[in-house]
């Protein structure tokens, strides 16, 4: 669903099932933005973001979560402590997601 929304808007998208696959993709392609769920198998969003921040400090990152063992807002708060990470709680409206993605590409004010 997320992939389709972004592709429909003209973005090039590479999707991964977990953080480990995500790191493999980042090694193969140049990314302007990574959108990650916080709850994933193999390597969760928190570990994935920590690795991204360490290895690609200038990469824009957006974390999304619908919660799980703890509330979504707590997962997203943890993500925001790792750096300049945009966060979005699920469920979200298509327009809200697209506006947040556009903001990631806007020049700083």
In angstroms, the CA 97 to CA 4 distance is 13
- 90 close to 62: Cβ distance less than 8 angstroms: no
Residue 26 CB neighbours (<10 A): 19
The H or E element containing residue 89 is: strand 85-89
Q: Which residue has the higher pLDDT, 47 or 68?
A: 47
pTM of the model: 0.90
Give the pLDDT confidence score for residue 109 in this predicted structure.
Answer: 64
The structure tokens listed for 72 are 């979504």
In angstroms, the CA 43 to CA 32 distance is 21
Give the pLDDT confidence score for residue 107 in this predicted structure.
Answer: 72
Give the pLDDT confidence score for residue 74 in this predicted structure.
Answer: 86
CATH for 2-105 is: 3.40.50.2300
How far from each other are the two terminal CA atoms of the chain, in whole angstroms? 31
Please give the mean pLDDT across all residues of the chain: 91
Q: What is the percent of the chain where pLDDT is above 90?
A: 72
Give the pLDDT confidence score for residue 69 in this predicted structure.
Answer: 67
């Amino acid at each position: 669903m997320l992939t389709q929304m972004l592709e429909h808007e003209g973005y090039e998208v590479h999707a991964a099932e977990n953080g480990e696959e995500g790191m493999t993709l980042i090694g193969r392609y140049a990314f302007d933005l990574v959108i990650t769920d916080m709850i994933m198998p193999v390597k969760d969003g928190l570990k994935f973001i920590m690795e991204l921040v360490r290895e690609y400090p200038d990469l824009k990152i957006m974390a999304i979560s619908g919660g799980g063992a703890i509330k979504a807002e707590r997962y997203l708060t943890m993500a925001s402590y790792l750096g300049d990470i945009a966060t979005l709680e699920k469920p979200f409206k298509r327009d809200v997601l697209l506006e947040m993605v556009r903001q990631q590409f806007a020049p700083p004010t």
